[in-house]
Amino acid sequence: MAYYEADTFGHAVRTGRPVAEMCASKGTSFEHFGAKQAHYDNHAVIYYEGDPAKRLYELASGTVMLYKLLPDGRRQVVEVLRPGDLFGLSGAEENDCTAETLTDAKVNEIDLRHVEKSADLQRHLTKCLTKQMRVLHEHAVLLGRKSAVERVASFLMHLVPNRGGLGCVGPVDDTEDGYDLQLHMTRQEIADYLGLTIETVSRVVSDMKRRGIIRVDRSDKIHLNKVCGLCQMTGMH
């Protein structure tokens, strides 16, 4: 079924020409620019830090993380990507991060030599990179200035659509302000993303559970009882 979609996209490539409007209207996905789509299983490495950078990647579905390692094994997850995000552009001969899937993922891949040529694609790149840069800025604040509780609260809030950010719509309903979410990361991955240890993440989650802010149905299935309450804990209000 997933494979079907790939074929559909492949077809679009064969018939379509790069058209700015198509790109702009659809927002994400650049299969129009001669990309081939690849599938990756859960926890598959797409490329390693230090590998020669050959392709530009666009995440079509699923989740991918980018991380860097220090020689002694410390790891920092620098980005958690969602569909539409780009990766593989390191600005050098070699990739600056390792890219690894967090779920099954579909990825559009374009040879870097082709990227240079298309003006529409360049415009698309600028837009995507700018957006990702904004996220990196906010994450720098989290890593540099937030407490463990604020980091975890911010992390959870980012998984709730249309809440917490600039376009926060507030509680939909006065009495009900819950939200069910599915984590695609282990505690270790979350810790490495938030610049904490696995034990600290676990303790903060347990604490939120004890205080009735969240309910943990399974370690990767968490119900937020009060989204607004959680948002107050992010350090941003």
Conformational region of residue 34, where left means phi above 0, alpha means psi within -120 to 50, and beta covers everything else: left
CB of 116 to a second copy, least distance (A): 7
Residue closer to DNA by CB (options 19, 216) is 216
- Return d(Cα 138, Cα 115) in angstroms, integer: 28
Which position among 14, 17, 74, 113 is part of the footprint of a second copy (CB under 8 A)?
74
Query: Per residue in 25-34, is it b (16+ CB within 10 Å) or e — as a string?
Result: eeebbbbbbb
| The one segment of 6-14, 99-107, 126-134, 209-217 that binds a second copy by CB under 8 A | 126-134
Residue closer to DNA by CB (options 8, 219) is 219
By CB under 8 A, residue 51 contacts a second copy? no
Helix (H) or strand (E) segment spanning residue 27 = none
Closest by CA to 102, choosing from 189, 220, 216, 38, is 189
CB of 25 to a second copy, least distance (A): 16
Positions in 6-45 near a second copy (CB under 8 A)? none
* 17 binding partner (options a second copy, DNA, none; Cβ < 5 to 8 Å by kind): none
By CB under 8 A, residue 173 contacts a second copy? no
* 132 binding partner (options a second copy, DNA, none; Cβ < 5 to 8 Å by kind): a second copy
The answer to whether 11 and 61 have CB atoms below 8 angstroms apart is no
Binding mask 178-197 for a second copy (x = CB under 8 A): --------------x-xx--
Residue closer to DNA by CB (options 11, 43) is 43
Helix (H) or strand (E) segment spanning residue 69 = strand 64-69
The answer to whether 156 and 215 have CB atoms below 8 angstroms apart is no
Could you count the other beta carbons within 10 Å of the beta carbon of residue 109? 15
Which ranges of the chain would DSSP assign to H, the alpha helix?
Answer: 2-15, 20-26, 112-115, 119-145, 148-158, 187-194, 198-210, 227-231
Binding site for DNA (CB under 7 A): 147-149, 186-188, 195-203, 205-206, 216, 218-220
Largest CA distance in the chain: 56
Positions in 87-116 near a second copy (CB under 8 A)? 89-92, 94, 96-97, 116
Q: Which residues bind a second copy (CB under 8 A)?
A: 66, 68, 70-72, 74-76, 78-79, 89-92, 94, 96-97, 116, 119, 122-123, 125-127, 129-134, 136-141, 143-146, 166, 192, 194-195, 235-237
